[in-house]
Amino acid sequence: MIVLASLPMLAILTWLVALMIDPGQFEGWSVVLLGGGWIVMASITTVGLVLVGGQWALRTLLIATATGLYVGLFRPSDPLTVTATALTAAAMIALLSPQMSREVRKLPSASGPPPVAVMATLIPLSLPLLLGLIPVPANGWSVVVALGALVAAFLYSRTITGGLVAIRFGLPVLTIAFATPMGIPHGVVSLALVGAGTAVAWAPQVAAAFHPLIEKGSTYAIPPELAPPDILERARIDESGNRL
């Protein structure tokens, strides 16, 4: 399974090399967004696929890998494009293979986060890649919003203080503030995606998944005369509560 799951990363790295040599219509910050978005999505979904066999990981990795074919439409048909396209096709075949299907869970893990909480993390994580895929040069403001989305997703996924506030308030405010300087279409795409992510973030399950599952409890003293004799013996305490 590890070999099959590593093919998408190999295809993505080949596309990145091709873009660095000849970016085609993806210039400047667009290449940065593409590269960062691809690496983040591929890394997280590959780990999720190998370690937990999550359906969400397989589907997200398949989509992220398929975007390479879209990028190839805006590059010259040189040997690198041909190689990257072939690797992308092989990676998609591997992800859709019966062997991979047998390794993936058919039902969500009972101990894992609810699907809506996974979506609340994946939506902001996908923003850099989505902005990079726009075949119009991006500017620095797009990178700022993309970084903000990654930070918000990281804080929430790691249950760090302020993570829930970040995806519910921080990221939407940041996106609205910089939508105009980002320009069209990057600003519009950011508003649409973050708006959808914010709607998901307000689901009750998202807040429930953010709070720690284990909380500190309290203890109560039990009178020695009510404790079972075997427990008193193990604790070396007599019936009066004195140490033996």
Percent of the chain with pLDDT over 70: 88
pLDDT in tens, 166-200: 999 999 999 999 999 999 999 999 999 999 999 99
pLDDT score, position 230: 76
pLDDT score, position 177: 96
pLDDT in tens, 29-85: 999 999 999 999 999 999 888 887 888 889 999 999 999 999 998 888 899 999 999
Tell me what the pLDDT averaged over the chain comes to: 87
pLDDT score, position 243: 72
Q: How far is CA 240 from CA 207, 220, 221, 226, 236, in A?
A: 48, 17, 14, 11, 11
Count of H helices and E strands in the chain? 13, 0
Closest by Cα among 174, 166, 235 to 201: 166
Yes or no: say if 153 and 167 are a contact pair by the CB < 8 Å rule: yes
Output the CA torsion sign for 73, 6, 29, 148. Answer: positive
pLDDT in tens, 12-40: 999 999 998 988 888 889 999 999 999 99
Yes or no: say if 16 and 35 are a contact pair by the CB < 8 Å rule: yes
The more confidently predicted of residues 242 and 57 is 57
3-state secondary structure of 138: strand
Q: Which two tokens mark 20?
A: 């660095």
> How long is the chain?
244
> Is residue 240's pLDDT more than 80?
no
The more confidently predicted of residues 77 and 230 is 77
